[in-house]
Amino acid sequence: MTIIKLDAIDSTNSYLKRISLENELENYTIVIAAEQTSGRGQMGAVWSSEPYKNLTFSIYTRIQYITGEQQFYISIVVSLSIFKTLRLLGIPNLKIKWPNDILSANYKICGILIENVIKHNTLYESVIGIGLNVNQIKFEGLPNVSSMKLLTGKNFNHDEIVHLIVQQIKEYDKILAKGDYQSLFDEYESHLFRKDKPSTFKNNEGEVFMGFIKGITPLGKLKVLLEDDILSEYELKEIKLMY
């Protein structure tokens, strides 16, 4: 496992993708940046982090035994790996907010951005970007955000967290390699934020509506039970779960 540490970079995902074009990278090559100047989240959101206080890093992986249609299982594996790591470190009340934010007591502490390369309908490689709030204690203008330190009162070692997350990804990867999709699927759904609870959503046209999260499809769509017992499925860009 190769680890590259940088003081500052535009985006660890972008950096990893650039060097992967120039060199054949070792599986689980990791880039860690003390500061990201253009950190990115889902749907173009900006990930803002105080330098040296949090973890902003990306992992290069080659998982070449699932199809392009099954790529959401990478999101499941990574979400569960971070969830389990944080639970081992004593972070309370953890949930996974679809598709792959990690919450503690309804506060976001981790965001994930996964960029996959698919060749001939087979997943060829993935760059997994992770932004984890570790020791930062002030988040101006972000009322639904917290950190590991705020939640526990403890300082955490960055290197220990990275190694634990990678260790968990490797363990869940073994389950994926065996084709045991159902156990991964069931575990992910068991930790899903707001599952079977009345929730508020906003669609991409700005309309707000109510529904009950019932789970996800194998393609990663969110299943929402609407009025009149209509079960609808939504892509990431079609719907936003409001806090």
Task: Identify the structural domains of the chain with CATH numbers, from first to last.
Answer: 3-190 (3.30.930.10), 198-241 (2.30.30)
pLDDT score recorded for residue 43: 47
What is the average pLDDT value for the chain, to the nearest integer? 93
Among 41-45, 87-91, 228-232, 233-237, the range scoring the smallest mean pLDDT is 41-45
Amino acid at 33: A
The two tokens of residue 30 are 């990791």
The mean pLDDT of 118-125, rounded to a whole number, is 94
In angstroms, how far is CA 12 from the centroid of its own chain?
15
45 has pLDDT over 70? no
**Mean pLDDT (whole number) for 67-96:** 97
Confidence check: pLDDT of 59 > 50: yes
- pLDDT, residue 39, reads 55
pLDDT of residue 40: 52
The share of the chain scoring above pLDDT 90, in percent, equals 85
**pLDDT over threshold 60, residue 47:** no
* pTM given for the model: 0.93
Q: DSSP states of 9-76 as a string?
A: ES-HHHHHHHHHHHS-PPTTEEEEEEEESS-B-GGG-B----TTTSEEEEEEE---SSBGGGTHHHHH
